[in-house]
């Protein structure tokens, strides 16, 4: 597997044996390429070998250029249950049940590059929200032709109180500065298997406040199906990143607080960690 890390001054590319530094690498070129792996192989030949210790940094920028970040909802049964719980009082629970069973998935815009945070950067919760959760998600890197070529870790930070009040408030519950984290690396290799584990840990004052795990076996829709709907009658000249939904949702008694540390690990892809501002 090839992993690409975006630092403030250069890009680091690891093939599992050697790490290469590249000062002028373009994520946009990678996402536009018909064969992104070739672009990375060329970059490694042009790059400067460095020690593997260069990867031991506390902070990385999100591994992206000008790509939009989109997200899929209600793709796991647990997500369906949680959305129905939060919207029951407002009468919107039936919509989440319907979309889980429907042919057409729920897809929504999540973030611009400027609103996206990398590994080690602070994520945010809205000041006008009373119930907030992280949502750990396998995230797809898709080139401009609609081909999945890479994978990374995403955190779709969400206001459950705003979304539960009215489904039409979804953009406000999902789209705001610091509501999206991606990283630490963009990974190119074989697609994750159904046994791939996704782990979420939230620490508060140094103690575990919440912890859970799921696998991709619980993902109802195929990755290709989600991408097909995203690119249908749409254009992404710089490619896109797509969060595929969450199978881990904390209970109704839990809400994020400032100072919490959210750690998401996906087997084979690494660990994304962010503190709540």
- Please check whether residues 263 and 163 belong to one and the same domain: yes
User: What is the tally of structural domains in the chain?
Assistant: 2
CATH (domain of 225) = 3.90.850.10
47 domain residue, yes or no: yes
19-22 and 2-6: which strand pairing?
A: unpaired
27 domain residue, yes or no: yes
- Please check whether residues 37 and 74 belong to one and the same domain: no
Residues 48 and 21: beta-carbon distance below 8 Å? yes
83 domain residue, yes or no: yes
- Please check whether residues 148 and 46 belong to one and the same domain: no
Confidence label for 157 from pLDDT (cuts 50, 70 and 90): very high
Crossing angle for the helix pair 93-101 and 77-87, to the nearest 10 degrees: 160
For the whole model, what pTM was predicted? 0.93
60 domain residue, yes or no: no
Among residues 155, 232, 148, which one has the least CA distance to residue 190?
A: 148
| 221: helix, strand or coil | coil
Lowest-pLDDT range, 114-128, 141-155, 156-170? 156-170
Confidence label for 93 from pLDDT (cuts 50, 70 and 90): low
> Rounded CA gap, 138 and 152, in Å?
6
Q: What are the φ and ψ backbone dihedral angles of 163, each rounded to 5 degrees?
A: -65, -40
- Please check whether residues 200 and 244 belong to one and the same domain: yes
- Please check whether residues 230 and 253 belong to one and the same domain: yes
63 domain residue, yes or no: no
- Please check whether residues 138 and 105 belong to one and the same domain: yes
> Rounded CA gap, 87 and 44, in Å?
49
Burial status of residue 217 (CB atoms within 10 A of its CB: 0-12, 13-18, 19 or more): exposed
> Rounded CA gap, 80 and 101, in Å?
10
- Please check whether residues 122 and 198 belong to one and the same domain: yes
11-14 and 2-6: which strand pairing?
A: antiparallel
Q: What are the φ and ψ backbone dihedral angles of 219, each rounded to 5 degrees?
A: -75, 120
| Mean pLDDT along residues 153-181 | 95
Average pLDDT over the chain, rounded to whole?
92
Q: What are the φ and ψ backbone dihedral angles of 249, each rounded to 5 degrees?
A: -135, 120
| 86: helix, strand or coil | helix
- Please check whether residues 78 and 154 belong to one and the same domain: yes
Burial status of residue 112 (CB atoms within 10 A of its CB: 0-12, 13-18, 19 or more): middle
Looking at residue 92, its pLDDT comes to 52
- Please check whether residues 127 and 24 belong to one and the same domain: no
256 domain residue, yes or no: yes
Which tokens is 255 given?
């809400």
- Please check whether residues 34 and 127 belong to one and the same domain: no
Domain around 40: 2-55
185 domain residue, yes or no: yes
Among residues 237, 266, 274, 272, which one has the least CA distance to residue 68?
A: 237
- Please check whether residues 36 and 80 belong to one and the same domain: no
Looking at residue 27, its pLDDT comes to 98
| Mean pLDDT along residues 100-120 | 93
pLDDT tens digits, 34-55: 999 999 999 999 999 999 999 9
Instruction: Answer whether residue 167 shows pLDDT above 90.
Output: no
Among residues 7, 24, 101, which one has the least CA distance to residue 58?
A: 7
- Please check whether residues 85 and 212 belong to one and the same domain: yes
61 domain residue, yes or no: no
């Amino acid at each position: 597997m090839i992993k690409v890390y975006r630092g403030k001054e250069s890009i680091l590319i690891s093939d599992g044996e050697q790490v290469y530094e590249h000062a002028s690498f373009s994520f946009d070129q990678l996402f536009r390429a018909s064969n992104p792996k070739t672009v990375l192989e060329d970059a490694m030949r042009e790059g400067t070998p460095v020690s593997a210790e260069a990867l031991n940094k506390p902070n990385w920028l999100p591994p992206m250029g000008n790509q939009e970040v989109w997200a899929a909802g209600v793709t796991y049964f647990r997500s369906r249950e949680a959305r129905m719980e939060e919207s029951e009082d407002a009468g919107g629970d039936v919509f989440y049940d319907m979309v889980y069973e429907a042919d057409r998935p729920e897809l929504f815009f999540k973030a611009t590059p400027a609103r996206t945070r990398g590994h080690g950067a602070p994520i945010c919760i809205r000041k006008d929200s009373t119930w907030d959760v992280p949502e750990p998600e396998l995230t797809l890197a898709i080139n401009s032709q609609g081909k999945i070529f890479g994978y990374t870790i995403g955190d779709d930070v969400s206001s459950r109180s705003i979304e539960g009040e009215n489904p039409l408030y979804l953009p406000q519950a999902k789209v705001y500065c610091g509501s999206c984290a991606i990283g630490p690396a963009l990974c190119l290799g074989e697609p994750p298997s159904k046994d791939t584990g996704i782990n979420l840990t939230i620490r508060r004052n140094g103690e575990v406040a919440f912890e859970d795990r799921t696998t991709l076996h619980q993902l109802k829709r195929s990755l290709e199906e989600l991408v097909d709907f995203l690119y249908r009658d749409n254009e992404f000249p710089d490619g896109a990143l797509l969060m595929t939904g969450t199978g881990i949702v904390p209970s109704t008694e839990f809400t994020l607080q400032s100072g919490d540390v959210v750690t998401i690990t996906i087997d084979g892809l690494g660990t994304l960690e962010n503190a709540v501002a």
